[in-house]
Amino acid sequence: MLRIAYILIAALSWLLPATAQEGGLNALLESKRAMIERPSRMTIGPVLEDLATSELPNVPVFLEKWREKGVWQRKSDGRFFFVEKADGGKLMLIDVDTGAEAGLAEQADLSNLNPNSGVRGLIAAKLVQFQLSDPDPERRLQALTALERSANESHLAILRDAIEEETDPAIKARKMRLQRLLTIKFGSDSANRVAAIRSFAGDSGVDARAALNPLLASSVKVFDATPEGVNVARILTPGSDIDTDTAYQLLVDAGKAQPIVLPDARKRALIANIQDGAVAGIPVAELVTQEARDRAYLALAASGAVPPLVTQDEQQEAVSSHVLAEVYAESDAALTTAARETLSDISRTVGFYRFLSLALDGLSLASIYFLAAIGLAITFGVMGVINMAHGEFIMIGAYTGYVVQQIIPNYTASILVALPLAFAVAFMAGVALERLVIRHLAHRPLETLLATFGISIALQQIAKNIFGTQARPLTSPSWLDGAWALNDVVSVSYIRIAIFVLAVVFMGLLLFILKRTRLGLEIRAVTQNPRMASSMGINPDRINMMTFGLGSGIAGIAGVAIGLFAKVTSELGSGYIVQSFMTVVVGGVGNIWGTLAGAGMIGSLQKLIEFFNPSNTLAAQTYMIIFIIIFIQFRPKGIIALKGRAAGD
């Protein structure tokens, strides 16, 4: 009876004169008081519709407060208010229409409207109508985001109306996309749904795939003959498309075949039917063989005491006499056909973008390897020194960046200061190593390798003594946070982009130094023919020192770049020394273009191997090393061979 009364009240509310709304929101709420006080999913619809069509300015605020249980009713006269806390434990009443203060009240004199979850859901759906047309673009975007997460059928018509009123091109495009997605899910016209489905052909968005995949949901069903009147995905062939035992079990589940009696069930049935020391007239003492137990069970089955056994031939015959088919949950074949073709087109697009993403990942990794290896390529090419401490210069650069950030808290300024400072610190460390150790071991590669390896261990221990064993943060500026996303498949972090740009800048800078400066000319001369360079007045000893310092300084800059995304520890450089040597050897010793080619090959190869074996990066590195070993068997001088002393060595 109470429900009927609410329905009658709702019907009468439609007949109220417009003068109730002319009195503002308070008057309109007064006319709907009974349904607002005790709302239900059945009676709240007319109230929300009247509020929406009233065009009163405070309706959206009221609906939002009502949904969040922020509307209160004064018990004495039933008037609705918002409230704020006031002094003395009282509540300040706020007029729902004007937003003006309406006096103080005790909480005991008020009752809080507490709509249930179903009513709140309806209020939220109606509130979207206002939010999608809100003058503030941010509010409209928030409403769209909420709809993208959870929308229902009622939102489709609201969204269509909001599209016509939208003035912002970007928001309008987003609304139109969401409208097409909702049409696929909730549209009532098949032709419109098919058109919406086909509009996503070649689209790589996850939301499009999420809307289309449910249309192709299917289940295997059993039919006595070729199915008609259902949307069949495919007919299954037992033994090929589906296992025969699985097919028979589907028949059993559908009530079209006798269940298979498992060995344990047969054993329990024999035990349960023991009478006077025998089963079906066969003494228990004779039931020591499987043949005897089968004979006893068949005798019980013949008498109807136990379920009959099903032979393999009977199973095969039962399966052969029925048709098994995958049937779409969606009954409209036009929709499933369109969805299948569109998803196939999307798969090709996604495959292309995955390849592009893989290429960008390889390029990003190649830029890191290039920065780490270019300094080694210069020192190795000019001096022929196998510097096992090269990774520690990378570590020195990273720790220099960390120290700078402790002094300069602004991350952008600290990185700008850290890059040249890391070069200077690593340059001086490289010069010191060359003056104190390397030059005394000239033309003795084995002793040089062992000495630099020992220095590498010593530098790591010094770093541990100074900075400890815990990883230190090298924080990137806020403008490097996040990633550049081309679509839902392709995205590259801004840090990786910055490192790529840094690698390009340093490559250009090095080419300028080597091709356009006196130092570069002397380095190239010593690299090609040190004796001839010496006879022309060039000091090879000084060039070796400057070259080693230059290579070490570049490694320091690489350390700052790598530290922005890797953990800054004393072992940071050791993780890149192997890749650096491989890059130099594969590309061609002492050649910038060769180092670039080697970094590109190794970075791309590693990402390609990781793509096929993503769960095991160690295996990827192992396969990469094997490939490089095979590669240098056929091209021992690298991709771009160097002429001169390094090539001869």
Maximum average pLDDT range among 277-291, 339-353, 509-523: 339-353
Tell me the pLDDT tens digit for each residue of 307-331: 888 888 888 888 889 999 999 999 9
Q: Tell me what pLDDT residue 428 has.
A: 95
Q: How deeply is 243 buried, as exposed, middle or buried, from its count of CB atoms within 10 A (0-12, 13-18, 19+)?
A: exposed
Gap between the Cα atoms of 624 and 369, Å rounded: 14
Judged by phi (left if over 0) then psi (alpha if -120 to 50, else beta), residue 277 lies in left
Q: Is the dihedral of CA 154, 155, 158, 160 positive or negative?
A: negative
Q: Tell me what pLDDT residue 337 has.
A: 94
Report the DSSP pairing between strands 80-85 and 72-74: antiparallel
Gap between the Cα atoms of 539 and 533, Å rounded: 8
Cβ neighbors of 414 (< 8 A, separation 6 or more) are 401, 404, 405, 407, 408
Among 493, 481, 504, smallest CA distance to 411 is for: 481
Strands (E), 454-525: 483-485, 491-493
Q: How deeply is 433 buried, as exposed, middle or buried, from its count of CB atoms within 10 A (0-12, 13-18, 19+)?
A: buried
Evaluate whether 561 touches 545 at the Cβ level (below 8 Å): no
pLDDT confidence of 2, banded at 50, 70, 90?
Answer: very low
Average of per-residue pLDDT across 354-362? 89
Tell me the pLDDT tens digit for each residue of 207-225: 899 999 999 999 999 998 8
Q: Tell me what pLDDT residue 19 has.
A: 40
Predicted confidence (pLDDT) at residue 32 exceeds the cutoff of 50: yes
Q: Tell me what pLDDT residue 591 has.
A: 74
Q: How deeply is 508 buried, as exposed, middle or buried, from its count of CB atoms within 10 A (0-12, 13-18, 19+)?
A: exposed
Tell me the pLDDT tens digit for each residue of 385-433: 788 888 899 999 999 999 999 999 898 999 999 999 999 999 999 999 9
Residue whose tokens read 């890149």? 576
Q: Tell me what pLDDT residue 649 has.
A: 47
Q: What is the DSSP string of 264-290?
A: HHHHHHHHHT-BTTEETTEEGGGTTSH
Q: Tell me what pLDDT residue 148 has.
A: 82
For the entire predicted model, the pTM comes to 0.70
pLDDT confidence of 344, banded at 50, 70, 90?
Answer: very high
Q: Tell me what pLDDT residue 1 has.
A: 40
Lowest mean pLDDT among 429-438, 490-499, 589-598: 589-598
For 607, the enclosing helix (H) or strand (E) is helix 592-612
633 against 527, higher pLDDT: 633
Among 323, 328, 329, 309, smallest CA distance to 251 is for: 323
Predicted confidence (pLDDT) at residue 485 exceeds the cutoff of 80: yes
Average of per-residue pLDDT across 165-190? 90
Gap between the Cα atoms of 97 and 25, Å rounded: 5
Evaluate whether 31 touches 37 at the Cβ level (below 8 Å): no
Tell me the pLDDT tens digit for each residue of 91-119: 888 888 888 888 888 888 888 888 888 88
Predicted confidence (pLDDT) at residue 10 exceeds the cutoff of 50: no
Evaluate whether 259 touches 266 at the Cβ level (below 8 Å): no
pLDDT confidence of 641, banded at 50, 70, 90?
Answer: low
Tell me the pLDDT tens digit for each residue of 550-566: 889 999 999 998 888 88
Cβ neighbors of 251 (< 8 A, separation 6 or more) are 222, 257, 318, 319, 322
Average of per-residue pLDDT across 328-349? 93
Average of per-residue pLDDT across 329-347? 93
Q: Phi/psi at 148 (nearest 5 deg)?
A: -65, -30
Q: Tell me what pLDDT residue 11 has.
A: 42
Q: Tell me what pLDDT residue 414 has.
A: 92
Predicted confidence (pLDDT) at residue 143 exceeds the cutoff of 90: no
Q: What is the mean pLDDT of the chain?
A: 84
Cβ neighbors of 135 (< 8 A, separation 6 or more) are none
- Residue 419, SS3? helix
Evaluate whether 508 touches 489 at the Cβ level (below 8 Å): no
Maximum average pLDDT range among 75-84, 139-148, 402-411: 402-411
Q: Tell me what pLDDT residue 381 has.
A: 65
Cβ neighbors of 587 (< 8 A, separation 6 or more) are 373, 377, 593, 594, 595, 596, 597, 598, 599, 601, 638, 639, 640
pLDDT confidence of 455, banded at 50, 70, 90?
Answer: very high
Q: Tell me what pLDDT residue 22 has.
A: 54
230 against 63, higher pLDDT: 230
Tell me the pLDDT tens digit for each residue of 594-621: 888 888 888 888 888 888 776 666 677 7
Gap between the Cα atoms of 279 and 300, Å rounded: 8
Q: Give the HSE-up count for residue 517: Cα atoms under 13 Å, Cβ half-sphere.
A: 9
Tell me the pLDDT tens digit for each residue of 226-272: 888 899 999 999 888 898 888 888 988 888 888 888 888 888 888 88
